Structure 1
C-alpha cells in the first residue's frame, strides 16, 4: 500500500513544498498537502495551540489537525539552520515536540533535523532518515534527494526572477512562463513568507496591491548571495534567520533598487519583529525618506481594516511620487 505523507501548507512549506513533494513522490509516497488556509483551520489552531503562541504557529496547528485521519505520516521537519550562520525561531526548533504533545491521536511524525552546521552532507543524511522511515533503499533515497534539490534550485530561480511562491509552483507544474505585469508603483513587502503568502491570514494583501496597480518585491525575489553581502551597520547581526533576511533585504532595496515604499508585515506578539520593524523604519527614513508602513496581523485581523490601510498608503505614495518626481 502506498504511504500517504501529509505536509501542512503553512510556515516554510511556502518555500520548500516543491522540494519536499518531489522527494517523497520519488520514493513512491502519496503527498497530501493540507491546502489553503480556512477559517476552520485557524479556529482549530487557536483551540489547540498555546495561548501565547503567535498566529503562524496557531495556524500551523490547524493545518496539522486538518490532516489527522487522512495520512499515514506527517512530515514536520525540525528546521534549525540552513545558512551556517543564523538559526530559525525556537518555535521552529520545537515544532515537532509541540505537535506530538498537543494531539492525542496523531500519525507518526517524520521529524528530521535540518542543520547544515553538522557537516557538508548534513541535509543528505537528514533526508536519508526520512526515506528510511518509509522503508526506501539508500540508493532510491539518494536519487530522490538529487531530484528534489534540482527542483528546489529551479523553484528559487523563479522566485529571483520576480515570481511569488504560489505562482512559481504553478509555473513548475505547468511549465508555463507568463509575462509579469508592471505597476504604477513599486512597493517592497517585507516579512516572513508564511505571513505574506498565506492569502487567508494576510487577507490576500499581495492580490489587493496588484489590483491597485502595484508591483511588489519581496525578499524571496532577491538572490541570497546579494543579501548576505549587505552591511547593515549594526553592531550585532540579528540572531534569527528570517528577521535577519528581512532587514538585509530592506537595506539592499533602499540602496540599490528604486522602490516607492516599504510595507512591513509582522505577526502580533513576535518579539524579533518588534526590533526588526524599528530598524526598518529608521533605514527607510535615512535613505531618501522612503514611505514606510507596518501591518500587524493576528487571528482577529479584519479585511476592511487592512484594505483601508493599504488603500490609504498607496494613495499617499502616489501623491508623493507626483510631487517629487
Structure 2
C-alpha cells in the first residue's frame, strides 16, 4: 500500500479532513507528522531559510519527521481558491524549497491549484493526483465526493464552536469533544492565521491557557466562509494575501459583536503580511470599544512570558467590565 505523507502544519489545519479522506478512499495510507515539538522545531530552523517565518520553519521540521516513512509527500502548490486573493509566496514555493533544500526527500506531489486559470482547477488538481496514483476516473470522482462530504462535516463542527484539532479528533478518532461553555464568563476572539493559532507549540497553547482562566474562546475558524466574505473592513483596498484578508474580515465581525470582551491578534515574527495586518487592525479602529492585544511569537517565545501577558490582559478586561457594571 502506498504511503502518503501530510505534514501537520500550514494547510493541515484547514484541509486535512478533505485530504485524508481523499487518499483513504483511493486505497493509500496517510501518515502525518504529529504535534510540533522542540526537536522538530530545531530541525526545521536548521534547514529552512534564515529569513523564513516560524510556520515555514516548522513545516520543514514536519516534512523531515516523516520523510523516511512515506512513498510520497503531499505538498500541493495552492495559489488561489477564490479568484481574488493569493496565498503567501513562501507557500507557493514550499514544494521547491523542500525538494531542493533538504537532501533525501521522497517524491513530492505538488499539483498546482489556481482558480484564476480555470473554473474546475480544484477538480483538475485532484484528478491529476488520482491519475498519478494509477486510479480510474470513477475512483477519483467517488473519492473526491466523499472527501468533500467529510470536509463539510469538519466545517460544521467548527461553526459549532470546536477548534480544528478538536474537530479532527471527533471525525477520525471517534472523540466527542464539545466546546467548553463557561457561563457568565468572558469571551475572547483570538484572530490570526490558523496554522499559528492552532499549533500548540508555536502559539504556546494560547487557547488552552485562556480556557484554564475560564475564558470562552472563538477564532476565525468558527465562522462560516460566507460570514467572513460579507464583512467589510475599513481598508481602502483588498489585501493580496488570502489569510491576511480573512483575518481582517473576521476581526471586523468580532469587533461588531456585543458578546466579545477582548480581541487578541496572534502573529508570527518574520511574517511580512502579518505585520501589515496587525497595523491595519489598529489603524482601522476595529476594536475601539473592545480591549485589544497584539501578541507576536517566534521560535524563542517562552511560555512564562506569554502567560504573564495573557493574565495581565484578562485582569484588565475584568477590571473594565466591573467598572462598566
CA–CA separation in structure 1 for the residues paired with 2:29 and 2:287 = 50
Q: Equivalent residue of 1:23, what SS?
A: helix
2:295 corresponds to:
295
Gaps of 5+ in 2: none
> Is this contact kept in 1: 2:79–2:112, CA < 8 A?
yes
> Is 2:92 aligned against 1:90?
no
> Is 2:228 aligned against 1:222?
no
1:111 corresponds to:
110
CA–CA separation in structure 1 for the residues paired with 2:129 and 2:103 = 23
The within-5 A match list for 1:131-146 is 131-146=130-145
Shift of 1:290: 1.1
CA–CA separation in structure 1 for the residues paired with 2:76 and 2:295 = 29
Structure 1 residues 58-67 or 76-85, which shifts more?
A: 76-85
2:193 corresponds to:
192
Shift of 1:20: 0.6
CA–CA separation in structure 1 for the residues paired with 2:258 and 2:243 = 21
* Aligned residue pair count: 323
Shift of 1:279: 1.8
> Is 2:259 aligned against 1:252?
no
* Partner deviation per Cα, 1:213-266 (whole Å, 9 max, x = no partner): 011110111111121111212211111000101000111111135211110000
The within-5 A match list for 1:53-132 is 53-132=52-131
2:324 corresponds to:
324
Q: Equivalent residue of 1:187, what SS?
A: strand
Shift of 1:287: 4.8
CA–CA separation in structure 1 for the residues paired with 2:5 and 2:17 = 14
Q: Equivalent residue of 1:117, what SS?
A: coil
CA–CA separation in structure 2 for the residues paired with 1:257 and 1:168 = 26
CA–CA separation in structure 1 for the residues paired with 2:91 and 2:107 = 18
Shift of 1:177: 4.7
Shift of 1:174: 4.9
Structure 1 residues 19-28 or 288-297, which shifts more?
A: 288-297
Gaps of 5+ in 1: none
CA–CA separation in structure 1 for the residues paired with 2:18 and 2:179 = 24
2:239 corresponds to:
238
2:267 corresponds to:
266
> Is 2:306 aligned against 1:306?
yes
Distance change (3 Å), C-alpha of 1:212 and 1:181: same
Shift of 1:175: 5.3
* Partner deviation per Cα, 1:103-157 (whole Å, 9 max, x = no partner): 2211111111122223332111101111122111221111111111111111011
Q: Equivalent residue of 2:30, what SS?
A: strand
1:164 corresponds to:
163
CA–CA separation in structure 1 for the residues paired with 2:2 and 2:307 = 43
CA–CA separation in structure 2 for the residues paired with 1:257 and 1:323 = 17
